[in-house]
Amino acid sequence: MKDDLEKIRQRIEELRREILYHNYRYYALDDPVITDQEYDTLFRELQELEERYPQFITPDSPTQKVGHPPLESFAPFEHRIPMLSLENAFSEEEVLAFDARVRRALGSPVYSYVAEPKMDGVAVEVIYERGVLTGAGTRGDGRVGEDVTPNVKTIRSIPLRLTAFDGAPEPPEYLAVRGEVFMEKEEFRRLNREQTEKGLPPFANPRNAAAGSLRQLDSRITASRKLRAYFYGVGHVEGIEFRSHWEILETLRSWGLPVNPLRKLCKDIRSAIAHYHELERMRSALPYEIDGVVIKVNEIELQKRLGEKTRSPRWAIAFKFAAHQAVTRVVGINVQVGRTGVLTPVAELEPVQVGGVVVRHATLHNYDEIKRKDIRIGDRVVVQRAGDVIPEVVRVVKEARTGSEKEFAMPDRCPVCASKVVRFPEEVAYRCINQNCPARVKASIIHFASRNAMDIEGLGEKTVNLLVDRGLIRKIPDIYRLKKEDLVNLPGFADLSAENLLKAIDKSRRTNLSRFLFALGIPYVGEYTASLLATHFKSLKAVMEAGRDDLVSIHGIGDKVADAVVEYFRNPENRAMIKDLLDQGLEIEGEPEEVAEFDSFWKGKTVVFTGSLKNFTRDEASRIVTSLGARVANSVSRKTDVVVVGENPGSKLEKAQKLGIQIMREEEFLEKVGQRR
């Protein structure tokens, strides 16, 4: 008996050590080494052991704590009310048990629940004092987080100033709002492509990418990655009282804070569970990841009576979705060659259904990952698909090995052009260094034409492969030599589609410097670095002549990037290609002086247009100001901040004058939207 207890104590110790290590990987480094499901299993086991043997509970057990203490490289950010975690439920029974506990504790039925998507991102608290954003921090260990104020200010959907819309009360003296910062799946894929091309390790999932992007010491890196946020609650507030959680959400929304529209007010637990199933069906179609549904008691009075435990409130529960995982076999490992010559290993799988989709391939990222997970050809593996993110191999089912599995070796010759493959020191990537490798040529043309580069509509993967295979394009400048007669006879082309492609190509002749630099595909130069170079040097000539010292003097550009840029422009082939492009009539504009994006004049303002503008259609003008954070209304009221007046204005002008609203003529408008300096 004594021995048994000792064994249990040891197991508890072991679980704690393991969980603490995974907390550190996940919360401090944003680099977990096990899946959330595996983590949840360990956590559950510890919780259950502690429940059965309460004599072993210690205050420092991970079951009694939230997250992980903040890193010291950030200033500390104190939460006036602790930010807690949530209790998890993995089945309907567990949710019903939660409802039963709540009703028992209250001695009455619950009036209502709110069910909201559980966003898979990073928790933040943002402070508004008299409506102005004055601070923001991560959750940290619940009491103290990391001060990430400058980073949060770069997130466009988080207003720097609250405005009372739709008859909302004025923002109070002091307001701590809580929400989740997240990265959309598409941005996650873009970022990981960029990481891979730079020879850097990819992020495991959008959550880690969001956390890693928010927790940056240089807020310009945060700004270069598209983050969003949804708010779902408040911390300490002064000057306003809320009666229900639903009222909190509605009020936050009417102050201009983003709140997830997929929330639902439910009359009982059954209806909350029904909402869970509905969101589960929508899950993979959503642009961002959710990992469950949070169900909360709606009435604040009842929430207070229920109170909280050390780690989580008693009035809420996270009903988690099942992971999209399946077991299948690796039948082979192929190698794909990217634009900068990086070789990416891809697992060929026995087709398998994962969350309703047939999966045939999974990315293995790089050779180090294959070694770390010890993936061999013939292995049975667990694959996981999160939303529509590229499927991944989570781990090998080692118990299923027969001994006939084969270890994978990176080829020493490029699988496409047979040139020698090299691995540069300090890089995880292997590369084909043949500039003319057909795989690289195709990939670099696809990149050149892509949306964030030269933005040539219709010149996607399929068309590029076709044009290169037919010998119509051998290098990038050939794009601009294409003629209608080259295209019309190609499979899938007709008169109209050929004309459209040529039009799109022609349109791309006018571009700006940062797009052009990004499009060239210089190693290590992603969109962000390209825009740094463009704003610093302002002309292509200046970038091409820049020395290593000029480059490293730019904040945000390190040795590796500097070397890559110098080397790229020193290469006579690259110089000849750029000259060729310019000879084809490419016009590259310099960069605007400052990108005054974050604290723009327009942010949070309500704008009305009247009369016709010379330089824009109404639609264009509206899109410009909304992209700068304004809201466009159709009629003038006391809530209008600015009326923009074109030719032949209507009665809106008179009304604006009567109400004393700021009136702006087209010239001033151009200036204020940065179209004229």
Ligand X SMILES: NC(=O)c1ccc[n+]([C@@H]2O[C@H](COP(=O)([O-])OP(=O)(O)OC[C@H]3O[C@@H](n4cnc5c(N)ncnc54)[C@H](O)[C@@H]3O)[C@@H](O)[C@H]2O)c1
Residue 241's CB: how many other CB atoms inside 10 A?
8
- Contact residues for 425 (Cβ-Cβ < 8 A; gap 6+): none
417 binds Zn ion (CB under 5 A): yes
CA 114 from chain center: how many Å?
26
Burial of 423 (0-12, 13-18, 19+ CB in 10 A): middle
Least distance from C-beta 194 to ligand X, angstroms? 24
473 near Zn ion, judged by CB under 5 A: no
Residue 285 structure tokens:
């179609």
In the complex, what is the shortest distance from the CB of residue 313 to Zn ion, in angstroms, rounded to a whole number?
56
Our answer to whether residue 198 is catalytic in this structure is no
Using CA atoms, how far apart are residues 570 and 47, in angstroms rounded to an integer?
A: 61
DSSP 660-671: T-EEEEHHHHHH
335 binds Zn ion (CB under 5 A): no
Residue placing its CB nearer to Zn ion in the complex, 227 or 343: 343
Tell me whether residue 39 is annotated as binding: yes
Per CB under 5 A, contacts with Zn ion among 234-263 are none
Q: Which helix (H) or strand (E) holds 639?
A: none
Closer Cβ to ligand X, 214 or 464, answer by number: 214
260 or 434: CB nearest ligand X: 260
- Is 605 labeled as ligand-binding? no
Paired tokens of 471: 């010998």
Q: Is 184 annotated as a binding residue?
A: no
- Does the annotation list 93 as a binding residue? no
The interface region with Zn ion, picked from 203-211, 249-257, 308-316, 424-432 by CB under 5 A, is 424-432
190 appears as a binding residue in the annotation: no
Helices (H), 283-376: 300-306, 367-373
Least Cβ distance, residue 360 to ligand X (angstroms): 26
Beta-bridge mates of residue 177: 126, 234
Element (H, E) at 532: helix 527-537
Given ligand X, Zn ion, none, residue 86, with its beta carbon under 5 to 8 Å by kind, binds ligand X
DSSP per-residue letters across 123-168:
EEEEEEETTEEEEEEE-TTSSEEEB-HHHHHT-TTS-SB----TTP
Min separation Cβ 431 and Zn ion, Å? 9
Q: Is 37 annotated as a binding residue?
A: yes
Task: Choose one: 74-82, 226-234, 350-358, 408-416; the region binding Zn ion (CB under 5 A).
Answer: 408-416
Binding residues for ligand X, rule: CB under 6 A, are: 22-23, 25-26, 32, 34-36, 39-40, 66-67, 85-86, 88, 116, 118-119, 123, 139, 180, 232, 294, 318
Cα(478)–Cα(457) distance, integer angstroms: 16
> Out of 110, 359, 383, 432, which residue is the one contacting Zn ion (CB under 5 A)?
432
- Choose the contact partner of 32 out of ligand X, Zn ion, none; CB within 5 to 8 A by kind: ligand X
Q: Is 24 labelled a binding residue?
A: no
Chosen from Zn ion, ligand X, none, partner binding at 22 (C-beta under 5 to 8 Å by type): ligand X
Is 266 annotated as contributing to ligand binding?
A: no
Binding of Zn ion by 416 (CB under 5 A): yes
As measured in angstroms, the least distance from the Cβ of 136 to ligand X is: 14
**Comparison of 180 and 527: residue with beta carbon closer to ligand X:** 180
Where residue 631 falls (left for φ over 0; alpha for ψ -120 to 50; beta otherwise) is beta
The partner residues of 662 in beta bridges, in order of sequence, read 642
- Other beta carbons less than 10 A from residue 486's beta carbon: 17
As measured in angstroms, the least distance from the Cβ of 443 to Zn ion is 10
Q: Which two tokens stand for residue 460?
A: 């996607």
| Nearer residue to ligand X within complex by CB, 77 or 448 | 77
Q: Which among 34, 41, 203, 44 is positioned nearest to 121, based on CA atoms?
A: 203
Confirm whether residue 86 is marked as ligand binding.
yes
Residue 554 is a binding residue for Zn ion (CB under 5 A): no
Among the listed residues 2, 7, 65, 118, the single catalytic one is 118
Q: Which does 432 bind (CB under 5 to 8 A by kind): ligand X, Zn ion, none?
A: Zn ion
DSSP 228-270: EEEEEEEEEEES---SBHHHHHHHHHHTT----TT-EEESSHH
Q: Per-residue DSSP letters for 460-484?
A: -HHHHHHHHHTTS-SSGGGGGG--H
Stretch that binds Zn ion, among 72-80, 164-172, 429-437, 605-613 (CB under 5 A): 429-437
CA 319 to centroid of chain Cα atoms: 23
Which residue ranges make up the annotated binding site for Zn(2+)? Answer: 414, 417, 432, 437
Please identify every residue annotated as catalytic.
118
Query: Which residues are near Zn ion by CB under 5 A?
Result: 414, 416-417, 432, 434, 437
Binding residues: 36-40, 85-86, 116, 139, 180, 296, 320, 414, 417, 432, 437
